[in-house]
Structure 1
Amino acid sequence: LQVWDNSGRSHSVDLMALGKHREVYTEGPFACLAWSHSETQLLYVAKKSWPKRRSPSCHAQSPVSGAAGCGADRAVLQGEQFMYREDWGEALSTRSVPVLCALDLEGSSLLVLEGVPEHLSPGQALWSPDDHSVVFVGWWHEPFRLGLSDCSNRRLGVFHLDLASGHCELLSAEHSAACSPQLSPDGWRLLYLEGGLGGFHRQCLCMLTWQTRQTVTVLDVVREPTEAFAGLYRETLPPRCWAAETRRADLLLVDTEAATVTNLTAGSTEGCWELLSLQWDLLVATCSAPHRPPSLVVAVLPPAGQELPLRWVPVEDVPTVPGVTWKTLTVQPPCSGKSPAMHGTQAFEALLLSPPDGTAPHPLVVCPHDGPHAVFDARWRPSMAALCQLGFAVLLVNYHGSLGFGQASISSLLSHMDEQDVADTQLAVEQALCSETLDPHHLALLAGSHGAFIALHLLAHEPERYQACALRSPVSNLPALLGTSDIPNWRYTFLGLPYTFVRVPHAEEVATMLLCSPIAQVARVRTPMLLCGGAWDQRVSPTQALELYRVLQAGGVPVRLLWYPEGGHMLAGVEMEANVFGNCACWLLWHLGQ
């Protein structure tokens, strides 16, 4: 760890050499790096250091002879060597038991903080106003752990740990999912996000007054979105999100006293904004769009009540990418009364990326997102822009259940997956074909995880509609995921059933899951298919892709399986992502005759 100031490097510490912990967590839900207010100590999270195993120096004697000592030690050591230790699932397989660590730069000492209860995994820590205690987020890991990646609905809370006494107290609600604490500059208020346990994703913004420990909800869950505000849908708050007067916070400017929201990017032509920091009333953000890579912008926050219009100043000039245009399509379901859910008649959105009009009509690549509670926002996505430059139009579908459109829309998808999400995606395709210059005879599907689940259902429902398909980490057999996924609870939520840690599947539940699974209808699929699977995927077992590959191959469907030995669920990493994209693009080009 290196510390730099205006005159250069002031400190350099080899943390591993101190022998107090293992690797430092620099990313993921636990990671943090927080200065004390005196700027003499640093707080961070690392992997717990287990006692080193001592190799026996003598030969083990037969236990029949009654000899103790080395032989007995060897037996214990061998047992510990293969002891199973739980981790936090997909993309967090190296995260097992984190510990809070405080580095004293003046005294050159490192302390692993004591007092964190054994049933908690700590992270997202920061110093209290007096530097005599810390605030941290604790994840419960009893009776066993469920995957954390993209799952903000686990049981976790905001805690206060007194360093002198070791006393630890819970600041947030007892049974909730509270995270991302951020202390105001004057130390009087603590903001954090809070949602419900299990089921679908939902969040509100809470504020705790430090001295009185009184908590109020600043922004509650939004069931029906308005033009001004559709709700909070983020995993963490920005590291610095408070205005100087300690009343206003974030890029969607929230007045924590009046509980009002002001959109500081109102009127902007860019698609997606992200706040990086707010300090001394200087806002630093990035903005991007499907045809423009991210650029850095800054603005000075005016006094309360005078925020709009806000003048954003670009720090750098990032040109648009040639050959890519985009628009938002509003998809209106027909009022036929056949909708599977109450929100099925409400409009939803899709993003359409297109090549220049001179090359129309364009072949169309349809992309339902994974999750299913995720969203295609209007940010820069290099792979989608590259498809446009290859001559494809790309339709990114935000079916009912996507984040950002109110809690009622999210809730409407429960018990209606494989119906509502599939119907919405196909409806978005049909309306796009009617309103845009697209080629209805050259259609393809490109998706991953739950998006692949939707794509497989579309292929089974209309075997002749699509000419090519490329899928990453496909969900095809729901019952098979009960014992192989890091989120077995989601299989019950999928059906609208409650989940408990002691729950085991019943025959009728397994039967229902199988009937909802694409594998049950895959015999109808005739579309050429490329499958991509990661051998280390803990979210959706790669055996799902393998089973699908074998069934399609036996049925005479053109199919190819790419198997990535080091790949996880997202097949992330520069080389892997490039390989996946290159193969998918070539597959689509070949089978669409481009």
Structure 2
Amino acid sequence: MPRPLTIDDLYRFEIPGDPALSPDGLRVAYTLTTQDAENDRVVRSLWEVRGGGGPARRLTHGPADTAPRWSPDGTQLAFLREGQLHLLPAEGGEAAALTTSARCPAGAGTPVWSPDGSRIAFSAPGIRRDDTAPVVIDTLGWKADGAGLIGSVRTQLFVVDVESGEVRQITEGDRNAGSPTWSPDGTRLAYPAQSGPDPDVAGTSAAHVVGVGDDVPAPRRIGPAGGLAGPVSWFPDGSALLVVGRTTAGVGHLELLRQPLDGSAPVSLSAALDRNVLPGGPGYPGALPQFHGEDIVFCARDRGATRLYRVNAAGISASPLPAGTGVSGCSVAAEAGQAALVVCDASSFAEIALLDLDAWAPGEPGEPSAGRAPVRLTAHMARSLPEVALHPVTEREFSISDGTVVHGMITRAAQAPLGGPLLVDVHGGPHNAWAPHSDPVHLYHQELASQGWTILTLNVRASDGYGEAFYTAAVGAWGEADEQDILQPIATLVAEGLVDPERIALTGYSYGGYLTCWLSARSDLFAAVVPGGILVDLRSMLGTSAEGQLIAGHEIGDPERLTALSPISHVDGVRAPTLILHGGADDDCPAGQAEQWFHALRTRNVPVRLVLYPGGSHLFVLDGRPSHREDYSRRLIDWVTTHTHR
């Protein structure tokens, strides 16, 4: 008989990611993330599965092997091992180091093969920072979450010769150079970098191009300086760049932009979809846009789930993925007409699948196209947790009094009685979104559901996947714009008799932590609250957070609003017992924010507890120490059950 998932199962998780499809479309290399309980660490190793079927096999033994990338001829696999580039023969053997600490003192970055396979480009810090030296600060961007104090160290482009191991630095200067991509003829690199006057303040970036010959000219900006540029790639004919970005700075959807090399105005290829393009990143599933002939395959979010799309002269169509399936990685083998995907659904956290791109028939934007569904190649969930069944997730829509429709998800055991306790969980971002499929991060959802709780997750205003107007609806009005998107759906569930109005708990992380504090100060509805990774004082956050200028300048806009929109300004209204969970080395939402909230509640005699996780970055809840992630879930469960007990 199947059993429900428990927090102890964290140590058995096997989560595949970052797929790399061989040029012939026959082999998929990928990173598998597991947990080492004995050493209290995350382990990442490389695995491979054949497109024609058969069991997955392990290629390396970690503990920190990532970013597999096939050579153009498919004979070698480049990857990162603890910050240095290594090469692994495709037919087996031992991995050999291509870069070393002597040649790359600050380490290497994700490998990008040249078209002829003779060189690999990457982005990495220009120098190794001395942790004991004074940190000199002249501009914003002097620290980064997970890296700490970086001072004036900036990422630069490097090229390593595969045969000799010689490493050349291609760029220099005081602006970060993002991940590069090779021109079709192998003579130039394109990459995103900060642009315009005072980009550290304005938050602007653009695509750039630089040559890689012996006489390297200065990098040349391509396109407007006042926009945003993320990942960059080349059109196959070399006439233009494909940029994930925006033509203006500020809050809004990222688009697919065709940027001509002559610097003329970029053209959006994805505007008709009215969805945010997702190139992928921690906590934001997606994949880099890739070419398949004249088509561009890319990811965008729709109603909480990251989906795969294709754009060409005929328009935009969605891939033939089953309903309720999300994508968190994609690798295209253009000549083979295949795409390797990482897919997740209601029954599995992530598995590798193969999609036949040539069988993807045209369809309407936002609607799955005709064609064959992806073929699952792995079964890591079934192998690591063979007896576990996840509680079902039901989608709901709630009408708010101003006419806005809010999409939500309800998780509860099939036989849970009516009138039980409710946990409301608020996502971060604020432009992230809850997905209607399984989730390996929020383990407490499954364990509380097993105890008879109902879990409500809501994609409130500012959530991704509902159009740009919805995406920007909370700009300048954090808390004020979206608080009813939480409170009114709760009232609906209470009126339906689904939950007990005296046993409602609230939690959230990052922006969700902000909104948890905000709501606990403005409503007496909650019997217990658990904010994590919080912001409560937007004025002090402005100068202490690595993201402070971005949040204050773009998300809030008017500096006069910082005080009014800070939960600390409303703290006198807090009554609910509060458990604060926070990473001790969080540079996005500094630990001082949690300390301020703890002090404010403790001096007002509100029951409060602060838990700091030493060394924990803002993203420790995703990939920090397993013991910390386990502790987070257990403390949350204990707090909400204790304070809602009847």
- The equivalent residue for 1:273 is 327
Query: Within 5 Å, which residues of 2 pair with 1:4-19?
Result: 4-9=88-93, 12-13=96-97, 15-19=99-103
With over 3 angstroms needed to count, the CA separation of the structure-2 counterparts of 1:232 and 1:528, relative to structure 1, is same
- The equivalent residue for 1:299 is 355
Q: Is the 8 A contact 2:410 2:455 kept in 1?
A: yes
Q: Which amino acid aligns with 1:247?
A: D
With over 3 angstroms needed to count, the CA separation of the structure-2 counterparts of 1:560 and 1:269, relative to structure 1, is same
With over 3 angstroms needed to count, the CA separation of the structure-2 counterparts of 1:182 and 1:277, relative to structure 1, is same
Q: Is the 8 A contact 2:513 2:531 kept in 1?
A: yes
- The equivalent residue for 2:81 is none
Q: Which amino acid aligns with 1:588?
A: V
Q: Distance in 1 between matches of 2:258 and 2:294?
A: 12
Match of 2:250 among 183, 199, 204: 199
Query: Within 5 Å, which residues of 2 pair with 1:419-568?
Result: 419-435=480-496, 437-463=498-524, 465-489=525-549, 490-497=551-558, 509=560, 512-568=561-617
- The equivalent residue for 2:640 is 588
Q: Please give the secondary structure, in 2, of the residue aligned with 1:452.
A: helix
Q: Is the 8 A contact 1:290 1:385 kept in 2?
A: no
Q: Distance in 2 between matches of 1:494 and 1:6?
A: 47
TM-score, normalised to structure 1's length? 0.80
Match of 1:171 among 222, 239, 255: 222
1:100 aligns with 2:152: no
1:231 aligns with 2:280: no
Q: Which moved more, 1:423-432 or 1:315-324?
A: 315-324
For residue 290 of structure 1, report the CA deviation from its aligned partner: 4.9
With over 3 angstroms needed to count, the CA separation of the structure-2 counterparts of 1:561 and 1:447, relative to structure 1, is same
Q: Distance in 2 between matches of 1:292 and 1:350?
A: 20
- The equivalent residue for 2:629 is 577
Q: Is the 8 A contact 1:362 1:437 kept in 2?
A: yes
With over 3 angstroms needed to count, the CA separation of the structure-2 counterparts of 1:117 and 1:45, relative to structure 1, is closer
Q: Which moved more, 1:352-361 or 1:40-49?
A: 352-361
- The equivalent residue for 1:133 is 188
1:256 aligns with 2:308: no
1:311 aligns with 2:390: no
Q: Is the 8 A contact 1:182 1:239 kept in 2?
A: no
Encode CA deviations 1:255-302: one digit per residue, 9 max, x unaligned: 3333x1111135x23342234212121122222235532222222122
Q: Distance in 1 between matches of 2:470 and 2:129?
A: 50
Q: Please give the secondary structure, in 2, of the residue aligned with 1:166.
A: coil
Q: Distance in 2 between matches of 1:20 and 1:209?
A: 34
Q: Distance in 2 between matches of 1:441 and 1:291?
A: 32
Q: Distance in 1 between matches of 2:244 and 2:199?
A: 24
With over 3 angstroms needed to count, the CA separation of the structure-2 counterparts of 1:578 and 1:145, relative to structure 1, is farther
Match of 1:46 among 124, 137, 144: 124
Q: Please give the secondary structure, in 2, of the residue aligned with 1:376.
A: coil
Q: Distance in 2 between matches of 1:451 and 1:51?
A: 34
Q: Distance in 2 between matches of 1:291 and 1:180?
A: 32
Return the index of the structure with the highest Cα Rg.
Answer: 1
Q: Distance in 1 between matches of 2:289 and 2:514?
A: 38
Q: Distance in 1 between matches of 2:287 and 2:439?
A: 22
Q: Please give the secondary structure, in 2, of the residue aligned with 1:380.
A: coil
For residue 522 of structure 1, report the CA deviation from its aligned partner: 1.9
Q: Which amino acid aligns with 1:104?
A: D
Q: Which amino acid aligns with 1:365?
A: L
For residue 239 of structure 1, report the CA deviation from its aligned partner: 4.5
Query: Within 5 Å, which residues of 2 pair with 1:302-381?
Result: 302=358, 305=361, 308-317=370-379, 318=381, 321-322=388-389, 324-334=391-401, 344-381=402-439
Q: Which moved more, 1:3-12 or 1:438-447?
A: 3-12
Identical counterparts, % of pairs: 17
Q: Is the 8 A contact 1:196 1:203 kept in 2?
A: no
Q: Distance in 2 between matches of 1:47 and 1:198?
A: 25
Structure 2, gaps ≥5 residues long: 1-84, 281-285, 300-307, 363-368
With over 3 angstroms needed to count, the CA separation of the structure-2 counterparts of 1:143 and 1:192, relative to structure 1, is closer
Q: Distance in 1 between matches of 2:399 and 2:135?
A: 56
Q: Is the 8 A contact 2:535 2:589 kept in 1?
A: yes
Q: Distance in 2 between matches of 1:354 and 1:106?
A: 57
Q: Is the 8 A contact 2:418 2:497 kept in 1?
A: no
TM-score, normalised to structure 2's length? 0.74
- The equivalent residue for 2:267 is 217
1:122 aligns with 2:177: yes
Query: Within 5 Å, which residues of 2 pair with 1:10-159?
Result: 12-13=96-97, 15-25=99-109, 32-49=110-127, 81=134, 83-84=136-137, 87-93=142-148, 96-113=153-170, 116=171, 118-140=173-195, 143=198, 145=200, 154-159=203-208
Q: Is the 8 A contact 2:516 2:530 kept in 1?
A: no
With over 3 angstroms needed to count, the CA separation of the structure-2 counterparts of 1:454 and 1:2, relative to structure 1, is closer
For residue 83 of structure 1, report the CA deviation from its aligned partner: 3.6
For residue 240 of structure 1, report the CA deviation from its aligned partner: 6.6
Q: Is the 8 A contact 1:323 1:356 kept in 2?
A: no
- The equivalent residue for 2:21 is none
With over 3 angstroms needed to count, the CA separation of the structure-2 counterparts of 1:141 and 1:233, relative to structure 1, is same
Q: Please give the secondary structure, in 2, of the residue aligned with 1:324.
A: coil
Q: CA RMSD in A?
A: 3.0
Q: Please give the secondary structure, in 2, of the residue aligned with 1:357.
A: coil
With over 3 angstroms needed to count, the CA separation of the structure-2 counterparts of 1:483 and 1:110, relative to structure 1, is closer
Q: Is the 8 A contact 2:279 2:288 kept in 1?
A: no
With over 3 angstroms needed to count, the CA separation of the structure-2 counterparts of 1:250 and 1:591, relative to structure 1, is same
Q: Please give the secondary structure, in 2, of the residue aligned with 1:22.
A: coil
With over 3 angstroms needed to count, the CA separation of the structure-2 counterparts of 1:492 and 1:141, relative to structure 1, is closer
Q: Which amino acid aligns with 1:576?
A: H
1:412 aligns with 2:473: yes
- The equivalent residue for 1:60 is none
Q: Is the 8 A contact 1:175 1:197 kept in 2?
A: yes
Q: Which amino acid aligns with 2:633?
A: F
Structure 1, gaps ≥5 residues long: 26-31, 54-77, 147-152, 223-228, 335-343, 498-504
With over 3 angstroms needed to count, the CA separation of the structure-2 counterparts of 1:435 and 1:230, relative to structure 1, is farther
With over 3 angstroms needed to count, the CA separation of the structure-2 counterparts of 1:458 and 1:120, relative to structure 1, is closer
Q: Is the 8 A contact 1:90 1:568 kept in 2?
A: yes
Q: Distance in 1 between matches of 2:554 and 2:331?
A: 36
Encode CA deviations 1:109-131: one digit per residue, 9 max, x unaligned: 22122xx3524211211221121
Q: Distance in 2 between matches of 1:83 and 1:411?
A: 36
Encode CA deviations 1:33-80: one digit per residue, 9 max, x unaligned: 111111111112222236999xxxxxxxxxxxxxxxxxxxxxxxx9x7
For residue 492 of structure 1, report the CA deviation from its aligned partner: 4.5
Q: Is the 8 A contact 2:255 2:269 kept in 1?
A: yes
Between the two proteins, the alignment pairs up a number of residues equal to 523
